[in-house]
Amino acid sequence: MSSGETAASGGAKLDFNCLTDGCEGLIVLDLENVADPDFQAVCPVCHRAYALDESLRDKLTRMMKLISHLRDCEDILGCSAVSVSVAGGEVKIPYALLLTRLNTMITLEIAGRKIDFHLWVKPSNSQVFR
């Protein structure tokens, strides 16, 4: 999924590669739906179903709340930057750039395997960096 697809669809999504051996499917989760105990994701290639246990639903629900809080603080973050030390000084990177242009991942352990979930967040302002 590209960030362009995210901007056209929901507010925040996670994706991960199917865990079935040999399958190259990409499972996409809308964070706004994962809190539902009956939520299930299905691989579009092999049709393997993924149910989320309470612990994982809790973590992903808290991730959605974190994203919501970040959006609530956009006016503050718009005036903030991360400073990176480089040879010859510092480079200031605006938070807005970090939140909209860098790939974010959360790595969780599922069934004894570490799985990288890629996080896609739709900018709340469609005019960001146009």
Residue 81's pLDDT is what?
A: 87
Residues 6+ apart with CB under 8 A from 81: 92, 93, 94, 95
Q: Which H or E run contains 52?
A: none
104 within 8 A of 76, measured Cβ to Cβ: no
* Separation of alpha carbons 50 and 41, rounded Å: 5
pLDDT reading at 18 higher than 70 = yes
pLDDT tens, residue by residue, 19-53: 899 999 999 888 888 888 888 899 999 999 988 88
Nearest Cα to Cα of residue 27 among 36, 18, 35, 19: 18
* Separation of alpha carbons 106 and 63, rounded Å: 9
How far is residue 44 from each of residues 63, 98, 112, measured CA to CA in Å? Answer: 24, 31, 23
pLDDT tens, residue by residue, 60-115: 888 888 888 877 887 887 788 888 899 999 999 887 777 666 667 788 777 788 88
Q: Which two tokens stand for residue 52?
A: 């989320």
